[in-house]
């Protein structure tokens, strides 16, 4: 799920394998999910603890399903056709929960990164998903299926221009919007569906508005991560920055962080920052639609939102560092200060908007109309 990006876990993990042929244990499957969550995302593991226990469990399992799909999409050792085949089969597993994942165990050894281990043992996550209640499964299932379908669409040979040495990238701004919807907008809707199950009858008239802003909640976080990680992705040899956006400024994607192109690169990032800013403002409205009685849902949403707002503010204020390939990252101390302040402001829409404005000063982020 969209969250402040962090480097993939690179240490090897050692978790006891299933003790076949004994009957799988619900407790062991859930314990596996709880063990793996902080290994694949420390930040999200921190945020999820803010939710009520039943939501914590369903959101955790949903996140791990999404993370499996994301790992398949990102797997450098798999050809595009192989990724598409695995994503389709995984979507079938989610549609009719079962624990036959031989195809993933063949593709991922389970001996490498935490993400590799998670894919190899996807049967445990699928069993945990199958033990959610029917309403929770129905809230999660269509959005994971749509995410997988979108990843199939984008798991093709990368677009290049100017010869084989050109950097793979997205082609158009519309492609970026569509990609972000599939990997993050779907998550916004998934969360909305789960959160809506907890709304009191008197608050259910808010659901259509929540659904209207759900895409922006995901896209604001995802675009911020793309901006933040653009230099790192570039060094790895690929880019989410649309080719047409660079060409509009007279440069190639390959030249985005090159000497002599700082002004053009700054204009490219300005467009992306504006897009992220608009989505984050909508994400704020999304979060304040939850009633104060749903304090812990608001806390969960605000924590992720405020991390993104602060990150985007730094990216906008330090655009010189951004276009020179530097790191834009909030410090651990800021993370804990934001968490502490969020706990105080979360019940009050007025205070929530004040803190949004304060964190977003560098990016000219304003709460917008109430």
The whole-number average pLDDT for the span 2-15 is 46
| DSSP code string of 56-82 | HHHHHHHHHHHHHHHHHHH-TTS-HHH
Same fold, 1-8+25-157 and 162-370: yes
Highest mean pLDDT among 46-55, 107-116, 160-169, 205-214 belongs to 205-214
Give 315's Cβ-side CA count (13 Å radius). Answer: 30
Q: What is the pLDDT of residues 72-100, one digit of tens each?
A: 999 988 999 999 999 999 999 999 877 78
How is residue 147 written in tokens?
A: 């995410």
For the chain, what is the largest distance between any 2 Cα atoms, rounded to a whole number of angstroms? 64
| pLDDT of 8 strictly over 50 | no
Q: What is the mean pLDDT of the chain?
A: 89
Q: Where are the domains of the chain?
A: 1-8+25-157, 162-370
Highest mean pLDDT among 2-6, 257-261, 321-325 belongs to 257-261
Distance CA 301, CA 2 (A): 11
Q: Considering the entire predicted model, what is its pTM?
A: 0.90
Q: What is the pLDDT of residues 94-141, one digit of tens each?
A: 998 777 889 999 999 877 899 999 999 999 999 999 999 999 999 999
pLDDT-derived band at 2 (thresholds 50, 70, 90) equals low
What homologous superfamily is domain 1-8+25-157 in, according to CATH? Answer: Farnesyl Diphosphate Synthase (1.10.600.10)
Candidates 128, 43, 39; CA nearest to 300 is 43
How is residue 120 written in tokens?
A: 């190899």
Cβ contacts of 346 within 8 Å, gap of 6 or more: 295, 298, 299, 302, 352
| pLDDT of 291 strictly over 80 | yes
- For tokens 């992720």, what's the residue? 304
C-beta of residue 309 within 8 angstroms of C-beta of residue 227: no
Model pLDDT, residue 23 = 63
Model pLDDT, residue 238 = 84
Second CATH level (architecture) for the domain 162-370 = Orthogonal Bundle (1.10)
The whole-number average pLDDT for the span 26-40 is 95
| pLDDT of 369 strictly over 80 | no
Cβ contacts of 12 within 8 Å, gap of 6 or more: 111, 112, 113
């Amino acid at each position: 799920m969209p969250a402040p990006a962090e480097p993939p876990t690179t240490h090897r993990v050692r978790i006891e394998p299933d003790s076949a042929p004994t009957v799988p244990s619900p407790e062991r499957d859930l314990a596996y999910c709880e063990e793996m969550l902080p290994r694949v995302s420390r930040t999200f593991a921190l945020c999820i603890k803010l939710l009520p226990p039943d939501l914590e469990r369903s959101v955790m399992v949903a996140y791990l399903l999404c993370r499996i799909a994301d790992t398949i999409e990102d797997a450098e050792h798999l050809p595009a056709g192989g990724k598409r085949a695995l994503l389709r089969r995984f979507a079938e597993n989610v549609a009719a929960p079962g624990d036959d994942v031989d195809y993933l165990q063949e593709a991922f050894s389970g001996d490498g990164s935490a993400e590799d281990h998670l894919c190899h043992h996807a049967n445990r996550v699928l069993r945990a998903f199958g033990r959610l209640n029917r309403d929770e499964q129905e809230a999660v299932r269509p959005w994971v299926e749509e995410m997988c379908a979108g990843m199939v669409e984008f798991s093709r040979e990368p677009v290049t221009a100017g010869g084989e040495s050109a950097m793979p990238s997205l082609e158009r701004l519309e492609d970026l919007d569509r990609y972000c919807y599939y990997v993050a907008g779907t998550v916004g809707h998934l969360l909305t569906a789960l959160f809506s199950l907890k709304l009191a009858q008197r608050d259910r008239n808010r659901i259509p508005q929540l659904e209207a802003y759900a895409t922006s909640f995901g896209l604001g976080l995802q675009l911020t991560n793309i901006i933040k990680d653009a230099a790192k992705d570039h060094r790895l040899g690929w880019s989410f920055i649309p080719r047409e956006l660079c060409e509009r400024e007279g440069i190639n994607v390959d030249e985005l962080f090159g000497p002599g192109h700082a002004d053009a690169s700054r204009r490219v990032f300005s467009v992306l920052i504006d897009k992220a800013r608009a989505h984050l403002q909508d994400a704020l409205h999304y979060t304040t639609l939850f009633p104060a009685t749903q304090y812990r849902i608001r806390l969960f949403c605000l924590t992720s939102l405020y991390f993104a707002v602060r990150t985007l503010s730094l990216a906008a204020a330090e655009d010189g560092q951004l276009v020179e390939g530097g790191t834009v990252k909030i410090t651990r101390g800021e993370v804990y200060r934001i968490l502490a302040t969020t706990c105080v402001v979360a019940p009050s829409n007025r205070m929530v908007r004040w803190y949004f404005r304060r964190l977003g000063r560098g990016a000219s982020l304003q709460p917008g109309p109430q």
